[in-house]
Structure 1
Amino acid sequence: MASSAGGSELFTNYEQDLHALTESIKVKIDKQIPSQSGEERKAIIRAAEREIDETDEILGQMEMEILNIPAPGRTRLQAKLRLYKSEGEKLKRDLRRATAAAPRSNDRNELFGDLNDSTSDLDASTMDQRQRLLSGTERLGQSSRRLEDSHRLALETEGIGINILGTLKGQRETIVRARDTLAEADSYIDKASRTLKGMARR
């Protein structure tokens, strides 16, 4: 098993590789993909997809490396890994949006016009529909999560209500037993009183 220092050093190396890949992917998403079209754009998209696959592999290696680090240092690294995974998921979403979005016109198209305007309009319309579909799917997922949360809350509330009813039932039984005991005591007192009165008359 690796020592804490050795494990942390290897984890740091993975972090450096991850940062480099992340920056490269961001450049492709923010600058290169929107400004290109045709085969060049497709090639950049494929390169970004390969880099995202590499980030997934590195995240997997980081997760395995954390298991070799003693508990005192493991918690901090696990928190960092969660952040890196979250950032990786965001990059995937950003790449999907950049892929679905229509490319910006270059200077030549702006000066001379696009000879394939009809095809470009059709592609833009298709991509716009795909973007709306992705947005709708994301909203549907959010609604589903909210519904699950509401259902869980309802179950928790039902459980609390059942516990309260059980407590009230137990208290009612206690009160009924106490009342029966008092009635029985009153009966004994009446009997004793009659006996005492009979003895006094005699």
Structure 2
Amino acid sequence: MATLIQSYEQQYSIITADITAKIGRLRTANEDERDSLHKEIQGNFEEANDLLEQLELEYRGSGAGSRVSAYRAELQRVKDEYRKVGTNPALYNIDNEEYDDWSTGNEQRQKLLDNTERLERTGKSLTEGYRVVLETEQIGAAVLQDLNSQRETIQRSRGRLRETDEQLNRSTRLLKTMMMRALQERFVLGIVFLVLVALIGLAVYLSVT
């Protein structure tokens, strides 16, 4: 970027120096030479304006301090000098309305540059907004994925709780069954014990009698 700016500045310096030299030659040139010099100078002015436009865009893109205003002031000074040399249309065959056209053209170019800058800012704002939307979408997708993972975890936990509850129910039923069997066995043992006691008592009674 800096190398391109330096290149534009060098080209601009060469063009303005060439225009100044040609303006000096106008003072002593004959009619044919003046016509040729006028065309060359006007072409040089257009080229210089184009260079300044490119230079201003490069400065804006780089964010560095711009010297375009100083260059435009210098170019306007050269144009004024050219106007003074061409103030006698009969002598130099110059249409002074062209200078007003240049001034109007510069204003139009400045407006175009300002509009371009606004469009660039709008484009950057839209790009930034689109980036924010994409980031928000990504965050939302990540949150949804996390919620889905948590839901699956909760569902698995509920499944394990149901399995644990079923196992507890089976264990409770098993314990109840074991307790009933233990009570039944105790009842049977009690009856057997009573029968044995009765038989022993009967045997003792019979042995005594």
**Interval containing the TM-score (normalised by the shorter chain):** 0.5 to 0.7
Counterpart of 1:127 (choices 91, 94, 109) is 109
Is 2:15–2:48's contact at 8 Å kept on the other side of the alignment?
yes
SS in 1 for 2:76: coil
| Equivalent position amino acid for 2:104 in 1 | L
Higher alpha-carbon Rg: 2
Q: Does residue 156 in structure 1 map to residue 160 in structure 2?
A: no
2:150 paired residue number: 168
Q: CA deviation at 1:171?
A: 0.7
| Correspondence list, 1:4-153, <5 A | 24-29=7-12, 31-32=13-14, 38-43=42-47, 93-94=57-58, 104-106=75-77, 109=80, 116=97, 118-153=100-135
Counterpart of 1:178 (choices 120, 142, 160) is 160
The 1:122–1:195 alpha-carbon spacing in structure 2 relative to 1, beyond 3 Å, is same
Is 1:102–1:124's contact at 8 Å kept on the other side of the alignment?
no
TM-score of the superposed pair, with normalisation by structure 2: 0.51
Runs of at least 5 residues in structure 2 that lack an aligned partner in the other structure: 20-40, 61-65, 88-95, 185-209
Identity %: 10
Is 1:26–1:91's contact at 8 Å kept on the other side of the alignment?
yes
TM-score of the superposed pair, with normalisation by structure 1: 0.53
Q: Which runs of 4+ in 1 moved over 6 A?
A: 33-37, 95-98
The higher-RCO structure (CA 8 Å, 6+ apart) is: 1
Q: CA deviation at 1:33?
A: 6.2
- 1:139-197 CA-to-partner distances (Å, cap 9, x unmatched) read 12211221221122112102211220121011111111111011101111221121122
Q: CA deviation at 1:119?
A: 3.4
> C-alpha root-mean-square deviation of aligned residues, in Å?
4.0
Once residues 156 and 122 of structure 1 are traced to their aligned partners in structure 2, the CA distance between those partners, rounded to angstroms, is: 51
Once residues 79 and 167 of structure 2 are traced to their aligned partners in structure 1, the CA distance between those partners, rounded to angstroms, is: 107
Figure out how many residues of one structure are paired with residues of the other and give that number.
138
